[in-house]
Structure 1
């Protein structure tokens, strides 16, 4: 039987794993690295690259090098998250005919699913080179707080890449599977997942091989890219104050600053200070200008204090929804490269009053968990029961443009819920059903999933027809 690969399709990096001999193995890429940059590049001669090769040429080809596309998946061009992405993306973000956010490279337009599929094809090739034969089945992970549109878009990306996507699994749930824990012992586990573009927190109860997600919350636009942007802004403002040159207009210089800022952020997790040095970053009438800026850890931590504070809300919401006190959490698992930052670890200790688990590489733990799920599906690993939840409430728009919830957030799936509605006018022969997802009171403030018309309602006074709306989530 062909193995089912587990893929962590990340904002910044991606990782692929399989089960070999009953244990998960992270597959290195052709350069020997166990993680691969989630970067795609297009060149003028029509060539296309993905991974480390694409990232390396970003400085000389910034407008045609796409990164962080996961933040655009399933989003409308009018969303505030896309507006924010436009601020720091050197490539063009445009609207398609349905007002979905797409990217444009020269004359070509690509959906986020297409870009994601190129990254997935790269991961597929990595696995096939390692195994020596073709594979076509995968478990792909998504942030726990992804809505239905974003999950479907990720599944579509998998199909475009040539995969039969056996399961879409939440990243924190995958991490819990990777750790395994003592399946015979009743444990309450919090998975704290701060990656390149998203933040998730999930609270699980694990007992006798049953992994039950009690609650999940998060922020789909909070991650390492935002921490990088703080450093990028500091570098640009400092250079402008010294030389009177705004480097934002120079895409090539901006890409050099982006890479140097990401490197400095990594260094500040282990060093107390670092230097950002970029020679010949600009030219003015006096000649070439060089960038040299010293940044220390306390300065950086002060700059990102607002981002660190944003971690509080989702954690407290997840604990509240799970009806648990922080003291009742037995283990805290760290996922994502940003959890290496000392200030983030300090925040975790502050929130949960305990040291977190870091025995598995936080960059690899999600892919390992996805491979474990694949191993369960193909019978290589002892069956565990995985009970996940609906991350956002599902409902319909009702009179007055109000949102009426039918399945509340954090409801265990699979589930089916129904609700009876009626007509608002005498002899009304049709109703519009607008399916929405989210927690806001007004329908327009939530995510629109579908619109349909129910026609042929027999004539009757208002309030008499009984219209049952059922939602089923498998």
Structure 2
């Protein structure tokens, strides 16, 4: 059997279906059938945000800590407890190996990818190869896929929305960087499924930002969206006209963002400290995490002040004792350290304008998205490139989630007269004879779309062909990202070039691709939804869903245990107070029973091993013991009455002071008149 792999030759081009026409897309929600609330989630590298439509506008929802954004951090405590968001970030210094952050940079990546290998060297946690070659992470000896960690963050956002809305939420629109490839988009959708969400739509972050910004804007605008976030950079050109948001082009770098700026400053601090103190902090995990957090704080502060001071007492020690880090850092020095990173954003901006066939002068508005756009050097670079000051009309941390919520409103049918036309960021094609990359869909093609091409065999008698699907912009297949491969078998033996094999690419509105190959002679067809040569299988996803559910159940048990502990502590306090106040009303046996119950309850409240059910049992026992006090008092009410009577008599013997307190106003007035006469 001949000709596996690069066994196809191109015979002709045929455009099967063009969905570029606006009539091919619906503004309504009929096809999606959304029921219930649809939330919008910006799953960010550094921070995440969730929003929902309220009336005609999107509202960002505060989390349990009262913040509008949530750190995209997941940590596993030594006892197995999982922490997400701010609680996870707070304990990172003492648990850096098991605190996972910036996982979005790994999503959809292979372990051997150059970007992954760079992260392996700089991240404090373990990045390991999965059985299928994907990049996974390890914490407490357990391996997790990036989709799984993303799912834990999405679950937190889901819970935030449910607490605010007072109802279960299952439907969501989730955003991704515009330059995410097919594997990364599919992995993001998998994360939503693991979190128990029906991801109705995956949309690009710059597009979502433009949607939030331009919902009430005038028509006829050409908007450039510059999105520099925690881990990725995107730039998109959009045209807004008649409620239609049409993406003209997009470009970017999925491994450029705030984490790189932090790392650059971190390396500078390590070098300077080593030069001054002859101590290498890069070998000290605790010190390294403190430095990492200090670098992030300094970066943020330098956006609003020309100089900051980094103080880290007891960062290390030598023979003379503790060693402290104290360093002044100017904005100018920081900008010098990261100047090349800012400069890297210029290339994608130029390519984006060129692909859109738009000149700088044609851009009417520039929108800044992502926390890194607060940096003055970034703002100045954008201003110089586009020859105009960027708009200040949106919150760069929240606008993406708001746009996702608006798209959710469109899918639900609440938001009318808005149509979103997005594009595929990279060219898609297959490998043909000689290892050539043959494009079927060019980058910046409006989606959804379906295109096809007819190929033939490369050898005589070939009865099967291998279809290798790739994504990228290089001319040779080996230089592009392989998305997947499959075989079409059962081709009748024939001279090379005779069989007619039609390969079709179908990209849905999420930017996720389906590929089919059909032998025209026999009608035999093979089709797949593209899953990366790595990626998660359906069984993997279902297993991770079960794991997520078990974590949710464990979290529920831990929360109940904390509540029971608080109840026990409060009951012990109340019981001790009641016993002290009414001890003389009880006999020795009753006192002993209450004291034993108090002691057992106190021990239970301090126990780390006792289950929630056992704590609940101690609560019941103490409540029943304390009831003895009340029952005993009601059983002998005469004792209380006699005491009250004796007290009243004692007061009367002191000169009738009590009687004067209860004299009414009329009596008091008559008394004053009598006194004045006398």
TM-score, structure 2 normalization: 0.69
- The equivalent residue for 2:589 is none
User: For each residue in 1:229-273, what CA deviation from the matched residue of structure 2 results, as whole angstroms up to 9, or x when unmatched?
Assistant: 111011100111112111111111111001000000011111111
Whether the aligned pair in 1 keeps the contact of 2:460 and 2:494 (CA below 8 Å) is yes
Match of 2:124 among 52, 67, 90: 90
Deviation at 1:183, TM superposition (A): 5.8
- Say what the alpha-carbon RMSD is for the aligned residues: 1.0
Match of 1:255 among 289, 294, 297: 289
Whether the aligned pair in 2 keeps the contact of 1:402 and 1:443 (CA below 8 Å) is yes
Whether the aligned pair in 1 keeps the contact of 2:457 and 2:497 (CA below 8 Å) is yes
In structure 1, C-alpha distance between the alignment counterparts of 2:306 and 2:493, rounded to whole Å: 75
Structure with the greater alpha carbon radius of gyration: 2
Matched, 1:230 2:301: no
- The equivalent residue for 1:448 is 482
Whether the aligned pair in 1 keeps the contact of 2:40 and 2:52 (CA below 8 Å) is yes
Match of 1:165 among 185, 199, 224: 199
Counterparts in 2 of 1:367-446, with a 5 A limit?
367-446=401-480
Q: Which has the higher strand share?
A: 1
In structure 2, C-alpha distance between the alignment counterparts of 1:183 and 1:15, rounded to whole Å: 24
Whether the aligned pair in 2 keeps the contact of 1:200 and 1:216 (CA below 8 Å) is yes
Corresponding residue SS for 1:53: helix
Corresponding residue SS for 1:388: strand
Deviation at 1:179, TM superposition (A): 0.7
Q: Number of matched residues?
A: 474
Deviation at 1:460, TM superposition (A): 1.3
Matched, 1:77 2:114: no
Unaligned runs of 5+ in 2: 1-34, 509-678
In structure 1, C-alpha distance between the alignment counterparts of 2:448 and 2:207, rounded to whole Å: 16
User: For each residue in 1:144-192, what CA deviation from the matched residue of structure 2 results, as whole angstroms up to 9, or x when unmatched?
Assistant: 0000000000000001001011100100000011012556621111111
Deviation at 1:86, TM superposition (A): 1.4
Unaligned runs of 5+ in 1: none
In structure 1, C-alpha distance between the alignment counterparts of 2:217 and 2:269, rounded to whole Å: 49
In structure 1, C-alpha distance between the alignment counterparts of 2:297 and 2:73, rounded to whole Å: 17
Corresponding residue SS for 1:248: helix
User: For each residue in 1:404-442, what CA deviation from the matched residue of structure 2 results, as whole angstroms up to 9, or x when unmatched?
Assistant: 111000011111111111111111111111001111122
Match of 2:214 among 177, 180, 194: 180
- The equivalent residue for 2:590 is none
Counterparts in 2 of 1:117-136, with a 5 A limit?
117-136=151-170
Whether the aligned pair in 2 keeps the contact of 1:183 and 1:207 (CA below 8 Å) is no
Counterparts in 2 of 1:271-282, with a 5 A limit?
271-282=305-316
- The equivalent residue for 2:298 is 264
Counterparts in 2 of 1:331-342, with a 5 A limit?
331-342=365-376
Counterparts in 2 of 1:148-227, with a 5 A limit?
148-181=182-215, 185-227=219-261
In structure 2, C-alpha distance between the alignment counterparts of 1:23 and 1:389, rounded to whole Å: 25
Corresponding residue SS for 1:369: helix
Matched, 1:30 2:64: yes
Whether the aligned pair in 2 keeps the contact of 1:184 and 1:209 (CA below 8 Å) is no
Match of 2:175 among 141, 146, 149: 141
Whether the aligned pair in 1 keeps the contact of 2:214 and 2:240 (CA below 8 Å) is no
